[in-house]
Structures are given as structure tokens and as C-alpha cells.
Amino acid sequence: MDRRAYGDRAPAPNRNDKLYATFLGGTTLLDIWRAQHPADQDFTYYSHTHRSYSRIDSFLISQALHPWTIRSSIGNITWMDHAEITLDLRIPRLSRPWRWRLNPWILRDKGTVHAITDHLKTYFDINATEDMAPATVWAAHKVTIRGQLIAIATAQKKRRLQDLMEALADLTKLEKLHKQNPSDDLLKQLATTREHLRRLSTADVAWNLMWTKQRCYEKGNKADSLLAHCLKKRQDNKRITKIKTSRGEITNNPDIIAQEFLQYYTNLYNHSDPPPPTGDTSQKDRISSFLQSLNLPTLPAQAQARLEREEYAVAAYADDDLLTLADPLPSLHATLEVISEYSNFSGYKLNLTKSILMPVAMNAQQLHILRHSFPFKVTTTHLTYLGTRLPQKLDDTYDLNYKPLLTTAHQDLQRWDKLGISWLGRVTTVKMNLLPRFLYLFQTLPIPIRKKDFCDLQAAIDKFISIVLHVGASGTSAPPSNHLTGDHPHAGSMGQTQSQIPTILLHISGDAYLPK
């Protein structure tokens, strides 16, 4: 936040500034005035006590609204200590995908039900003939009745909107009359009109509440999008709000940004078809066509072969290959020759600058040769392969893999505890989000988690999913009941919601390394 104290002193950022920046980053909100005035400094408040200016009033908007913001400005400090701030938005008319859903309130009207019933009888009397297949009649009646329901809902919506506009007009007229000539009769008419307007507005609110309750009932307490969005830690700077176009212009229009990306990747992947083989085909093209017709062994299989009683080990998964070379300096030259030859024949280009080399038990001279003779990045700490960190020293395996995961798990549990998640939702969160992270390490690393860390994790999970307050029959608070959080014979699977859950899932996972 901008501040300016007496004597033209610019104070350094304090703790509140860091908290404010953290809040904006965690909620993906945007200080629109700062975004539109990155180099300016202005203030919205003047403190007579401290004789200082500060900008404590601002509009925080979603990053999606940034392209639609025309201007934002700070006014003058006139009759109060705060200045007025203005924001001009131009929201376009956007069409979104529409899916028809039956309004159950339509069926509450008996007249509507009778009309639909008569329409169905007429439909089946006309179409249910011997020449028409029953399946066709049944499938077509769904479309017909849907159109009838849409027509009824549209007519009711228009009628409700018309009633709303008439009620607003009557309210405006009655308010003018009551202001000119206050009387009890006009006051009663005003109260009646306002009550009618309130009932019309309540219908839309009740409709939205009904669909919200249905969505929460269907997706609540389950591993679904509703719980996932609640648990997800929002990250800022993920949305591209401004780019430089191919013509050199800066734009924040989302349609133009999408078109620029579409054009870029279209040009990138829009290659012409390969020419057909002819008599003048080059030697390289003939070799490529010949190799494609053969079932040749892949590079990992060749690397695993035993050559002159030496075994070359390779770990391959998808496009991640991990080579283990016993004599690095001469072996790397041979490896580069094999990779180059493989690339020439197969047509695949390997980016060697993205490959990482980790020396083990090498002196400084050999390490210097590795850094300056090969196009690899050299690391002396660890390699990251398939989600696990492979250290140079085996003693660092636990600290590089378990310690960061435990820290992240405790931080997530503390953050989730502040969210409005139900008890069943917390159990689902632990089962579907937290425990799979540890199960992967338990199955891939040859070392178990330490007993102290395992007990701390169990205690954190118990605290997260336990019911803190249980109201007794007399209305007084009591400790949580054992049939919800402990081992009760009638608890079923819900009885295993405390520290038994991690152990049970670990045993189910198979060959996992567990603490003794």
C-alpha cells in the first residue's frame, strides 16, 4: 500500500503490506488501480494524528474483469478524511452454454398439470398407431413434452416479469403521491405494494436456493468438484491478462488473446504433408522409410544389453530415462554417440540441455571436466525422477523426500481446518487428498517413515477430523461421542476415522515400508 509521512519520508513495507499481498495472491484478486497505474503514487486517506497519507481504499476485482475495466481513479479529499474512488466497467453480453432443466415448481400448478396431461393424451391418441414403432413414439414424446414445458415456463417468466415491472411502477407512483399528501390510505397501499413486490422477488431467490441446495446435496461430502475447489489453494499469475500481439500491440482483450494463441499454435503445427516417395528420393528418406517398416528394438532395450560382460542399467518411464554409468567420462562420449545416431535414424530430437547429470564419488578435476565438456546440467545435491528426489548421499533420502511432504501436509491440514468442511468431508479429504501423497513414497522409497513423524501425522489427522464439540441432550457441551470417533461395535466404517485410517490404507497398498 502507498504511504507518505510528514517530511517526504517513504516508509519501508511492513507486516501489513506483506499480509495484504498474501491475501491478494491467495484469493486471485487484483488491485485494479495499481494494475492500471503501476508507476503512479496516490492516496485516499489523510491521518491528521500521524500527519501522513496512505492508500487504504481500493477496488479488488477478479482478474477476469481486468479486460473489461475502462478506468479507475482516485478523487479529492473534500469534506471527510477519505477520497472518493471510482471504477468504470463495460461488461459485454456473453452467451454461455445452456442446458434445459425442468422447473419442479411448474408441476405445483394444478392447471399446468391438467394441460400437460391433456397434451400427452392427445399426442398418444394421434401417434400411437400400428404403423409407428413404440420405441419411436416414446422417444418422440420426450421431445414434445419438453417443448411444452419450455413454452409454459417461458410464458410464466414473461408474466412474472410483467407483474414485477407493474409493481415497480405502482410503487413509484404511490411514493410520489404519499410524499405530496401523506395519508393512512396511501401508506396502506404502499405497504401492500411492497409486500407484493417482495413476494415476486422472493420467488427467484427461492429458485436459486433450491438449485444451490441440490448441488450441495449431490456433491457435498464427496470427492467431487465442490470439495476440490474448496481445498484447492488458489494461485495468482495463472491467468494471462495481457500479451503483445504479432503486430507489436499490447492488448488485454480476452478474445484477441485467445485468437493470438490459436494463430501461434496453428502456425507452429501446420506442417505440409510429406512428399510421396519417388525415384529421386534421397538416401536419408529411403533409410527412414526402411526403418519404419522394421520392428527395431528401442534405445532402453539396447542400453540394457550386456556388452563385453558389462551391464548398463537404465530406468525408463514414458519420456523420462535414467541412465547409470559406472565410468562417466568415457561412457558419456559413447552415450552421446548412441543418442545422436538414434536421433538421426528415428527423427526424434533430444534436448540435451534439459538433461541433468549427478556425479557420485568424483573428484574436483573430474567434475570440472563434466561441467565444461558435456551439454548437461550438473547437480551435486539430488535428482528428481518421477516425483521422488534421488540424493547424491543416501543419508539425505529421508530429509529430501519425507520432510518437505510432512511440512506441506501439516500446513494443508491447518489451512483446511479453517474452512467450512463437514465431518464426512474431512474424512474424504484425508482419504483422497492427503494419504495418497504418503502412499506413493511408502511404495517407492526403501526407507520407512520415522515413528515420531508418523505419530505426529496421525495426531494432526485426528485433530482435523475429530468433532471438537458435541451438544448433549440437556444443551450442555460434552466431549465427542465414541460412536463417532472411536472404536464402537455399531460404527461400521465410520469407526475407523482416527489414527486407524493411515495404517489400514498402508496395509491395503501392498509392499509399503511402515514404521515399526
- Do 114 and 77 fall within a single domain? no
In a domain, 352, yes or no: yes
Give the contacts of 44 (CB within 8 A, at least 6 positions apart): 54, 55, 56, 57, 58, 74, 77, 82, 83, 85
In a domain, 278, yes or no: no
- Do 247 and 175 fall within a single domain? no
Q: Could you write out the three-class secondary structure of 444-455?
A: HCCCCCCHHHHH
In a domain, 274, yes or no: no
- Do 114 and 221 fall within a single domain? yes
Specify the length of the chain in residues.
516
- Do 339 and 413 fall within a single domain? no
What string of pLDDT tens digits covers the 516 residues of the chain? 677 766 555 666 777 777 877 777 767 788 888 888 888 888 888 887 777 888 888 888 887 788 888 889 888 887 777 888 899 988 777 677 777 878 787 888 888 899 999 999 999 999 988 888 999 999 999 999 999 899 988 898 899 889 989 988 998 898 888 888 888 888 888 889 988 888 888 877 887 888 888 887 777 777 777 777 777 765 545 667 788 888 888 887 888 888 899 988 888 887 666 555 555 556 566 666 666 666 655 555 555 554 444 555 666 666 677 888 878 888 888 888 888 888 887 777 777 878 888 888 788 888 888 888 888 888 888 888 888 898 888 888 999 999 999 999 999 999 888 887 888 888 888 888 888 888 888 888 888 888 899 889 989 998 888 754 444 444 444 444 433 344 444 444 454 444 455 555 554 455 555 555
Contact, 15 vs 52, CB < 8 A? no
Task: Please report, for residues 162, 163, 180, the alpha-carbon distance to residue 166 in angstroms, rounded to integers and kept in the order given.
Answer: 6, 5, 21
- Do 493 and 468 fall within a single domain? yes
Which of 353, 380, 407 represents a domain boundary (last residue)? 380
- Do 355 and 445 fall within a single domain? no
In a domain, 94, yes or no: no
Q: What is the per-residue DSSP string for 141-184?
A: HHHHHHHHHHHHHHHHHHHHHHHHHHHHHHHHHHHHHHHHS--H
- Do 110 and 83 fall within a single domain? no
Which of 89, 116, 138 represents a domain boundary (last residue)? 89
Strand positions, DSSP E, 186-324: 243-244, 250-251, 306-307, 310-311, 313-317, 320-324
Total tally of structural domains belonging to the chain? 5
- Do 422 and 489 fall within a single domain? yes
d(CA 477, CA 486): 18
Parent domain of 464: 395-508
- Do 214 and 109 fall within a single domain? yes
In a domain, 369, yes or no: yes
How confident is the model at residue 475, as a pLDDT? 46
How confident is the model at residue 44, as a pLDDT? 86
- Do 258 and 290 fall within a single domain? no
- Do 262 and 339 fall within a single domain? no
- Do 327 and 420 fall within a single domain? no
In a domain, 95, yes or no: no
**CA-based nearest residue to 242, from 258, 257, 261, 263:** 257
Which of 380, 413, 432 represents a domain boundary (last residue)? 380
Residue 72 belongs to domain with CATH number: 3.60.10.10
In a domain, 309, yes or no: yes
In a domain, 275, yes or no: no
How confident is the model at residue 484, as a pLDDT? 38
What pTM was computed for the model?
A: 0.57
